[in-house]
Structure 1
Amino acid sequence: MVGWPNINITAPQGTEVVMHFAEMLNDSGEKSRGNDGPEGGLYTANYRSAKATGTYIAKGDANESYRSTFTFYGFRYVSVTATQDITINSFVAEVVGSAIPETGTLETSDASVNQLINNVLWGQRSNYLSVPTDCPQRDEKLGWSGDTQIFVGAASYNANVAGFFHKWAYDAQDSQQGGAYTDTIPRSAAVGSGNAAWGDAGIIVPYTMYKMYGDTLMIEKMYDSMTEYMQWLEARGYIGAGTGYGDWLAYESNEGPVRNVIACAYYANDTLMMAEMCDAIGKTDEAASYRQRYEEIKDYFQATFLNADGTLKTENSTQTCYLMALKSDMFETEEQKQAAVDTLVQKIKDNGNKLGTGFVGTGALNQTLSDVGETNMAYTLLLQREDPSWLYSVDQGATTIWERWNSYTKENGFGDVSMNSFNHYSYGAVLEWMYSDMLGIEADIDDPGFKHIILQPQPDTREDSEIPANEQRITSVKGSYDSTYGTISAEWNWSEDEFNYTATVPANTTATVYLPTTEGQTVTVNGKDVADLDEATDGIKYIETTDGKAVFEVVSGTFNFKSSSTEEPTPGDVDKTILEKVIAKATELKGTEEYTNAIPSVKESFDKALADAQTVYDNPAATDKEVTNAWMTLMDEIHKLGFQAGDKTALQNLYDEVKDTDLSQYKDGAAKDNFKTALKNAETVLADRDAMQNEIDKAYNDLKAAFDALEKLADKSQLKALLDECAEFKEENYTPATWEVFAPILEKAQGVYDNVDATQEEVNAAVDELLGGMLQLRFKADTSILEGLVQQVEGMDLSQYTDASVAALKAVLGESKAM
């Protein structure tokens, strides 16, 4: 964890209470096992020069509390010592992190995988504290950009990190050097910039925010910075960024040729991501240019790194190199690509069904395998228990993700202390695959932010002969993701004869479902055969069955899919007991506030389902299939009663209050544009009869924030009146000394008046200064002039001026009349 202890003690005055922190305990005291102290004592060697110590000097009160104020610790264990006897009244380890709402849940049939999921989450909690650090404990705590981009996809499932990375985007721009992004963000003087997979975070993070949240604001905010980086890359040719790190901590080769493949492949991916981001903000010409650049990089990659058959040249032939080539689609033909897939899979098998990748390769490993149709191999790697693997660390006792697969082993003890963090989230990137492919909840880049959802569960369908001896098949998975549109949930269980899949799609979204099936199996949805589905009433449309998947388009609701080899039951006497109970419950719900407050479309579909169910119940010739369809459909409508209509009162009041705002009185710019957008969105929500509370609240908060952010133009009426008055003043009528004082004041005041961005404070100051300059003017000795001026001043409307300035004017007017 990351945080600090909050300790309450009773101790004599002057007692020193010292707390030391550690991630691990010494397991034996043996130096040969890397121990740095006696068995059971704190192991701190891997903290390097970090003291990781907190000291409190007691003042002698009966109950006094202490917690750190200017530091935090990464730890699992704490030792407490004192120079005198003390009483510890309470001791609480307080977790500290950025306020990021957690959005994902995930559980499988495998307990070790569930522990891995928990380890990834705690690694993120520990390292997302203002800056996405690589580790939170030793003398480093740096925002390594390679770790950031590798893990950002998994992070976006675990929690809503949009705001967290908007702050990071400012850091990225501030740190940028000569076009290149730095190895750590914020920049550290200890490291450099412009290295492949590290510097590319400046492109990958905004792209991920767009994909996961539909966030174009970050694209616009980062666009000039990203363009500068892409220009820096282009100036280097087709090779990509620098090769300072390559596939960090890889078990396989990480020499120059491997690093060159990584750099080039990352550059290619950068161009495709930039093209899509340009499209998102209307820069179509730039998008086309980036796509053309991608084709040029692809040609260079093929000529430099590929053999004619699609395999990589010997010096580039590692698992990671193949992953990079496949992820960036560097092949000319499908035959070449398949040859690369086959080679990659064989390399993994030849390595004992184990990965050989480092930070970069592991971050792309399972996602890429599923993308090329090798999900079963992805499961083999996920469930591998030998070194290196995710579950190997779990079996050694890991409670977070470690920097190395073997940071500690039961067999040999502790690893190399120079780089051996036990809280290092990078390898947790596999969680992105577990959500998007294993559970099957994925964002659609063509309609980002989960406005349109891709539901494509990919179960573990390995044959028994394919499963290594130390592994077991995952047979069920369930989870959810709180998207910006609402909660998406999914659950599946698999056997050789049947695949059951249930998914919930939130209101105001749609989804495409890809259901695994095999030849000869029957596919049903909510108990209905595919052929019997009605798009209007069932909210689902069957598209086709292709490549082992039945494809459907669905609207919001809960859907129960089944792909089964089981034959239909023989017709006979139909049991309507369940249907009767569901009808009774639905009828009861009709009289509740839950039904009354449901959105109109839900009430309409609920009423129809109830009527249809009653018809089936009353029909003595109803088949078993019709009865099952009736109660399942009605139950689905009961579930939808959770879609409650929102209260629009506050939004309507706010809209009425601000809709007629005279925008000509406010400064042009982003704030005014944001207000127009928020006002239009509020109109849309107010007009939407199915709008729910979260949408209404968001529209209200966005509109209020946009209105509050408007910057009003300064009121210059007083300043204009004075300047109009001054226009009548003639230099020849005044003494030279007073005119010399007055002239620059008048010029300055005119400048403030002409400045469209002048603030009210600047205008008020100009009024006071100009009035003072006017008041100090003195006529040359000619009373006729003075008499005319007295008459002019007496005719002025003084209601437009401040009390102080009017009082001063009247005093001078009195003197002038006496003269």
Structure 2
Amino acid sequence: MIAAALFVGFPVYVLVNLALRPTSDTSSPIAPTASPTLDNFTQAWQQGALGGALANSVLVTVCSVAVVLAVSSLAAYPLARVTARWSRGAYLLVLLGLVLPFQLASLPLYQTMRDLGLLGTPWALVLFYSGLQVPFTVFLYTGFLRALPRDFEDAALIDGCTPLQSFRYVVLPMLKPVTVTALVLNAVAVWNDFFTVWQMTGDATIVRDNWPAMVRYLDWIRQETGDTYAGQGSLTGDWLAPQKTSAQLMSDVYYGYVARLMAQMALAIGRPSEGEAYKELFGRIRQAFITKYLGTEGGRVTVKSSLGDASPTEPGADPNQKTEDNSQTALLWVLKLGFYETEAQRRTLVGLLADNIGNDAAYKAAHPNSSRVRYAENTLSVGFLGVNVLAPVLSDEGRTDLAYKLLHQDALPSWLFSVKNGATTVWERWNSYSQDDGFGPVSMNSFNHYAYGAIMEWMYAYMAGIARDPDHPGFKRFLLQPHIDPTGRITQVSSTYESPYGEIRSEWTVDDAGRTLAYEAAVPPNSEATLHLPSASADSVREGRTPLSRVDGVRFLDHTDGVSSYRLPSGRYRMTAHLR
């Protein structure tokens, strides 16, 4: 027991020791602090503006918990005491709130808060948390009430109490144990939530409030790696990828990616000078990456993704499998971040990526030691850090044909491999289970995991074509960029998105001969869209018999590489375009 206590208490000791240590003390974190100080807490409180944040958290938590306890206890009383059929049906309806994920109600709730004028206020969160926590709390109260004898209530009713008085003076005092339990559980759930604040308000406050912490994180990486401009290292890397990539390369990539995000966020919260500094940092990281990883020896471009080991902690991994140059994930991130020097190099990198995905006999013959030789043609080979950029980068680089081929593929590794083997959820591994081989490595094998579901983002933003405009957050201005299926297997797509301004619609159909595209779009009030529509020529894009460029309010931008571009004001559009 002593050993267990030391094992659990040691991290707490280190945490407290470092919190009380002055910044000038650079000794070992294990050694006791010689001059303990509270200056770190004072500085954090002032720089993070924690006073206002604490007040908001207290207000939201207290009000939410009070509403939940009051509503739930009153609702549970008749559900527990009344035996009529309606009571059982009502109770099952309440329990349904425990089964359905809250994300189903996110968009309707957002619209409701917007219509009530509550966006950006604590009361939006109070209403949200109250509704979210009531089903679980009713469940607690109902179970507890059913276990209480009715004798005291019957005696109170005989003495002349109304049901409400009986509940207030007799039942409520007996509910103290379950009330304390419900209070603690609800208070912790409301206090610790982070995601919903951003989801329900849609403003940059969450960025502004957490800016000091993000700055410290980037400063810490710089302190650890200095002028090498390398990442701090990674234990996980491109987790569960069939083709292994250096974990250090992935750390370096994400250092650059985060620096670029910081530059964008700095502008969003009115910190232009810091934005320029992070933009410069991104440039230095980019150049260091190119120098280390982008080989051009002998006129051949190579991304040296074999420089370093893959994750040393991945359960079930083959200990003998080596990292490889030009891995899919490395090529994708190099293209996404522009970690190359010339357009010729970019074209070569796209070709290397296409060859890796294609994985035909010639590729396998040229790479006999690659892990790719075990897999079929037109298969992916990415893990957690490659899957989210795989299809978007392919489309951005003009290879939507490969994105669709991967989408349709059902051989391992692919999205439809799991479906073919009975999946109804997204799996953690590409090979979590197969009818031929059974379960994958059982030491870590989830059948309900988020990561590989990232393909849905591409299906919305590229297949359907509803995408955010990076320069105009919040869908005040957005993109409509449908990408039709070059394989011809998908000929109709319909999608909607509830933006803060109303419903966005994008729907397309290709005729059997693949010659004509019918496209419908809806741009909500007080917003506008930039449309990029596949077409043989700008003149062939028409609304009815009228060229789209002549429709009132529509502005023609250009026609390049088989795509016509327009600026659309709010309204509904129904158009056709010749594809060839």
Provide the TM-score with structure 1 as the length reference.
Answer: 0.43
| AA in 2 matched with 1:220 | R
Give the CA deviation at 1:98: 3.8
Residue aligning to 1:659: none
The answer to whether the 8 A contact 1:169-1:222 is kept is no
Q: Pick from 332, 355, 359 the counterpart of residue 384 of structure 2.
A: 359
The answer to whether the 8 A contact 2:379-2:406 is kept is yes
Q: What is the identity percentage for the equivalent residue pairs of Structure 1 and Structure 2?
A: 37
| AA in 1 matched with 2:519 | Y
Q: Pick from 286, 293, 297 the counterpart of residue 274 of structure 2.
A: 286
Residue by residue over 1:745-803, the C-alpha shift from the partner in whole angstroms, topping out at 9 and shown as x without a partner, is: xxxxxxxxxxxxxxxxxxxxxxxxxxxxxxxxxxxxxxxxxxxxxxxxxxxxxxxxxxx
Residue aligning to 1:430: 455
SS of structure 2 residue aligned to 1:341: helix
Residue aligning to 1:595: none
Aligned mates of 2:95, 2:193 — CA distance in 1: 33
| AA in 2 matched with 1:560 | R
Distance 1:64 1:365, change over 3 A: farther
Aligned mates of 1:95, 1:387 — CA distance in 2: 32
Residue aligning to 2:490: 474
Aligned mates of 1:336, 1:283 — CA distance in 2: 34
Residue aligning to 1:346: 355
SS of structure 2 residue aligned to 1:423: coil
Aligned mates of 2:579, 2:452 — CA distance in 1: 39
SS of structure 1 residue aligned to 2:218: helix
Give the CA deviation at 1:451: 0.4
Distance 1:332 1:312, change over 3 A: same
Task: Please tell me whether residue 544 in structure 1 is matched to residue 558 in structure 2.
Answer: yes
Aligned mates of 2:94, 2:525 — CA distance in 1: 45
The answer to whether the 8 A contact 2:249-2:305 is kept is no
> If you compute each CA radius of gyration, which structure gives the higher value, 1 or 2?
1
Residue aligning to 1:299: 287
The answer to whether the 8 A contact 2:537-2:564 is kept is no
The answer to whether the 8 A contact 2:536-2:579 is kept is no
Give the CA deviation at 1:524: 0.8
The answer to whether the 8 A contact 1:213-1:450 is kept is no
Correspondences of 1:376-415 after superposition (within 5 Å): 376-415=401-440
Give the CA deviation at 1:530: 4.0
Q: Pick from 222, 227, 241 the counterpart of residue 250 of structure 1.
A: 241
Task: Please tell me whether residue 506 in structure 1 is matched to residue 510 in structure 2.
Answer: no
The answer to whether the 8 A contact 2:538-2:564 is kept is no
Aligned mates of 1:521, 1:346 — CA distance in 2: 36
Higher relative CO (Cα under 8 Å, sequence separation at least 6) belongs to 1
Distance 1:559 1:213, change over 3 A: farther
Aligned mates of 2:203, 2:496 — CA distance in 1: 21
Give the CA deviation at 1:90: 12
Aligned mates of 2:258, 2:447 — CA distance in 1: 31
SS of structure 2 residue aligned to 1:545: strand
Correspondences of 1:198-597 after superposition (within 5 Å): 215-235=203-223, 236-237=225-226, 238-254=229-245, 258-308=246-296, 309-313=300-304, 315=306, 316-350=325-359, 351=372, 352-462=377-487, 473-495=489-511, 496-518=514-536, 522-530=540-548, 533-534=550-551, 538-564=552-578
Correspondences of 1:133-148 after superposition (within 5 Å): none
Provide the TM-score with structure 2 as the length reference.
Answer: 0.59
Residue by residue over 1:605-633, the C-alpha shift from the partner in whole angstroms, topping out at 9 and shown as x without a partner, is: xxxxxxxxxxxxxxxxxxxxxxxxxxxxx
| AA in 2 matched with 1:312 | V
| AA in 2 matched with 1:502 | E
The 4+ residue runs of structure 1 with deviation greater than 3 A are 61-65, 89-94, 96-100, 167-172
Correspondences of 1:161-172 after superposition (within 5 Å): none
Aligned mates of 2:485, 2:201 — CA distance in 1: 29
Aligned mates of 2:83, 2:450 — CA distance in 1: 39
Residue aligning to 1:802: none
| AA in 1 matched with 2:571 | G
| AA in 1 matched with 2:577 | S
SS of structure 1 residue aligned to 2:240: coil
Aligned mates of 1:168, 1:241 — CA distance in 2: 33
SS of structure 1 residue aligned to 2:222: helix
Aligned mates of 2:544, 2:346 — CA distance in 1: 39
SS of structure 2 residue aligned to 1:323: helix
Task: Please tell me whether residue 95 in structure 1 is matched to residue 125 in structure 2.
Answer: no
The answer to whether the 8 A contact 1:505-1:558 is kept is yes
Aligned mates of 2:576, 2:100 — CA distance in 1: 44
| AA in 2 matched with 1:311 | T
Give the CA deviation at 1:168: 11
The answer to whether the 8 A contact 2:409-2:416 is kept is yes
The answer to whether the 8 A contact 1:319-1:347 is kept is yes
Give the CA deviation at 1:313: 2.5
| AA in 2 matched with 1:453 | F
Correspondences of 1:9-48 after superposition (within 5 Å): none
Give the CA deviation at 1:390: 0.7
Give the CA deviation at 1:562: 1.3
Give the CA deviation at 1:539: 2.6
Residue aligning to 1:675: none
| AA in 1 matched with 2:503 | T
The answer to whether the 8 A contact 2:404-2:486 is kept is no
Distance 1:290 1:312, change over 3 A: same
Give the CA deviation at 1:249: 0.7
The answer to whether the 8 A contact 1:370-1:437 is kept is yes
Residue by residue over 1:677-721, the C-alpha shift from the partner in whole angstroms, topping out at 9 and shown as x without a partner, is: xxxxxxxxxxxxxxxxxxxxxxxxxxxxxxxxxxxxxxxxxxxxx
The answer to whether the 8 A contact 1:476-1:494 is kept is yes
The answer to whether the 8 A contact 1:261-1:324 is kept is no
Q: Which has the higher helix share?
A: 2
Distance 1:526 1:446, change over 3 A: farther
Number of paired residues?
373
Give the CA deviation at 1:506: 0.3
Distance 1:209 1:551, change over 3 A: farther
Aligned mates of 1:384, 1:397 — CA distance in 2: 15
Aligned mates of 1:479, 1:450 — CA distance in 2: 16
| AA in 2 matched with 1:542 | F
Distance 1:418 1:344, change over 3 A: same
| AA in 1 matched with 2:256 | A
Distance 1:474 1:486, change over 3 A: same
The answer to whether the 8 A contact 1:310-1:337 is kept is no
Structure 1 residue ranges without an equivalent (≥5): 1-60, 66-88, 105-128, 131-166, 173-204, 463-471, 567-819
Residue aligning to 2:9: none
Give the CA deviation at 1:565: 6.2
The answer to whether the 8 A contact 1:517-1:550 is kept is yes
Distance 1:314 1:445, change over 3 A: closer
Structure 2 residue ranges without an equivalent (≥5): 1-80, 86-91, 109-131, 134-188, 307-324, 360-371
Distance 1:92 1:552, change over 3 A: same
SS of structure 2 residue aligned to 1:491: strand
The answer to whether the 8 A contact 1:310-1:331 is kept is no
Give the CA deviation at 1:92: 7.7
Aligned mates of 1:229, 1:64 — CA distance in 2: 59
Residue by residue over 1:108-166, the C-alpha shift from the partner in whole angstroms, topping out at 9 and shown as x without a partner, is: xxxxxxxxxxxxxxxxxxxxx99xxxxxxxxxxxxxxxxxxxxxxxxxxxxxxxxxxxx
Aligned mates of 1:335, 1:446 — CA distance in 2: 28
